[in-house]
Amino acid sequence: MSTRPARMRSFLLLALCAALTALIAQEYEQGGGLWAAPGVSDEASEKSSGAKPRALPSAAFGLPPAQQFNNIVERTLFEAWMRMLQAVPGSVLWLMRGSELARTSLRQAASACGIDPGRLVFAEAMPKEAHLARHRLAGLFLDTRTINAGTTASDALWAGLPVLTCPGGTLGSRVAASLVCAVGLADLVVPDLAAYERLGIELARDASRLAGIRSRLERNRLSTPLFDTRGFVAALERAFETMHARQRSGEACRSFAL
């Protein structure tokens, strides 16, 4: 809490009290049971992706979220992605299908960077369960910078796909870092685009290191705060009770940590 600038605290009291573990509260108990994405069969993955698991290389850089084309992909970030593809032979960048205009523009941009446009793999939109299942076909989720993935990063993490992110100075550019840290993968939060590119290449080239991160994510998924919905709700309720008690006692408005 104390890391926020003092000048912001009077405007962000509720957020400072409520955002105890991550920016976004999570809920994956849908339809009476947990989504089973990390344990789905190869048959389910094949059905959800439109391709057999082996159709994507182990070094696939995944950007499978449904809302990805709502985010901003600036030229410097796209060029970093292309350099990552160049540095990892046989790798692909997996994107949602989007519009014909978007696909054409992205292919042209890839070609201008000296990358075969065929290495941009476009996936169709799928129902939620199938969408989660196909995340396991990717190797690493590459977050966008200006506006991060939010719910889409949560989906990736829940499905067992590590998220690499580079936070900026605005709320929209720090969402994924909050999520990644809350699930115990702070080493995937990097300070700048150069570190983002470097770590992405290193992980794509080092299967054992990436497998270790995926194993850590699998262990942490149900033991760290990110997906502890009941714990988040309990903390939020304590925050509200504390604020109400302070207001009734006439205390001045100020931030606090539980």
Q: Please, which residues bridge with residue 29 across strands? A: 34
Give the predicted TM-score (pTM) of the model. 0.77
pLDDT in tens, the chain (258 residues): 334 444 444 444 444 554 455 555 566 554 333 444 344 444 444 444 444 433 455 456 754 333 333 357 889 999 999 999 999 999 999 988 888 998 999 999 999 999 999 999 998 888 988 888 888 889 999 999 988 988 889 999 999 999 999 999 888 899 999 999 999 999 999 999 999 999 999 999 999 999 999 999 999 988 888 888 888 888 889 888 988 998 899 988 877 777
Interacting residues of 154 by C-beta distance below 8 A, sequence separation 6+? 24, 26, 179, 226
Q: Are 125 and 134 in contact (CB under 8 A)?
A: no
Q: Please, which residues bridge with residue 121 across strands? A: 94
Fold of 32-232: Rossmann fold (3.40.50)
pLDDT for res 229: 82
CA atoms within 13 A on the CB side of 234: 5
Q: Nearest 5°: phi and psi at 155? A: -60, -45
Q: Which helix (H) or strand (E) holds 251?
A: none
pLDDT for res 22: 57
Q: Please, which residues bridge with residue 215 across strands? A: none
Place of tokens 């719910």: 151
Domain ranges of the chain: 32-232
